[in-house]
Structure 1
Amino acid sequence: MKKYLLIIIAMFATQFIFAQASLNAIKSLPINYEDAEVKPEFPGGYNEFMKFIAKNFKTPEVEGLSGVVRVSFVVETTGKISEIKILKDIGSGAGEEAVRVVSKSPNWSPGEQDGKPVRVTFQLPITIKGY
């Protein structure tokens, strides 16, 4: 009896092991910024994006705080920003501030692949120099 139960459990488990992601799920995965045929763009270009970050980022007032905060986000097919994540944080609220500022970004022009809009991941390093 135990032998049959083990076989049934093994057969049931293999249904999940060999399941494949649907084609829609694969198509909706974001591609890397560098791999996009047409890269997403902030209104006015990259320099304007850096100005936007510099204008809106409030550096935590912590003596000696310096380093690089790295944030990733997805530019959706509509140009909206989503899935903002802190990849590297230097503490004292700098990472959370980076997320706040990126979330305030206006819509971008979306990236394209094969003439169709696609979701694109973007990584942003923000350098903070201590007082």
Structure 2
Amino acid sequence: MKRIILFLIVLFAQQIVLAQAPMSVVNKTAAIPFETVENQPIFPGGNNEFIKFIGKNFRVPDVEDFSGGVLKVSFVIEVNGSIADVKIINDLGHGTADEIKRVLSLCPKWTPGDQNGKPARVLFTLPVTIRN
């Protein structure tokens, strides 16, 4: 009976140990992005310039039945100031998702945010109001 219990314990422990991801697979450098940091990333020229940049470069779809709305997109400002991980939260259709991705890919590098004196990845959510 003791051997059966010992066997079951070893078998159970083996399942736990083998279920772990090897350390070589875990990405140690990609930190989870912050939503709030001590010093937020800054677009060259500030928030007003960022809004102007989006307005200047975003092309509204030339479709008859497009009435506009609020397109929501999230993205990460990396520690080097580049934009990554662009995700569409609310797509209005008619190519608006591809268009905002294109515009964000044109963005110049931002001044990165920092937390505790170290550069940090920062998650942004941007609502873009589109009127036709």
**Same structural fold, with TM-score higher than 0.5 when normalized by the shorter chain:** yes
Structure having the higher Rg:
2
Paired residues in the alignment total: 123
> Which segments of structure 1 move beyond 3 Å, counting only runs of 4 or more?
10-13, 17-20, 22-25
Change in Cα spacing, 1:17 to 1:124, as seen in structure 2 (3 Å) is: same
Residue type of the alignment partner of 1:59: V
2:57 equivalent to 1:56: yes
Change in Cα spacing, 1:60 to 1:24, as seen in structure 2 (3 Å) is: same
Q: Which has the higher helix share?
A: 1
Aligned-residue CA RMSD (Å): 2.8
1:90-109 correspondence to structure 2 within 5 Å: 90-109=92-111
Identity %: 44
2:41 equivalent to 1:29: no
Give yes or no for contact 1:70–1:126 (8 Å, CA) kept in 2: yes
Cα shift readout 1:92-111 (whole Å, capped 9, x = no counterpart): 10111011101110000000
Q: Distance in 2 between matches of 1:74 and 1:93?
A: 22
Cα shift readout 1:65-100 (whole Å, capped 9, x = no counterpart): 211111111101110111111111010101110111
Normalising by the residue count of structure 2, what TM-score does the alignment of the two structures yield? 0.80
SS in 1 for 2:72: strand
Normalising by the residue count of structure 1, what TM-score does the alignment of the two structures yield? 0.81
Q: Could you list the runs of 5+ residues in structure 2 that have no partner in the other structure?
A: 1-6
Q: Could you list the runs of 5+ residues in structure 1 that have no partner in the other structure?
A: none
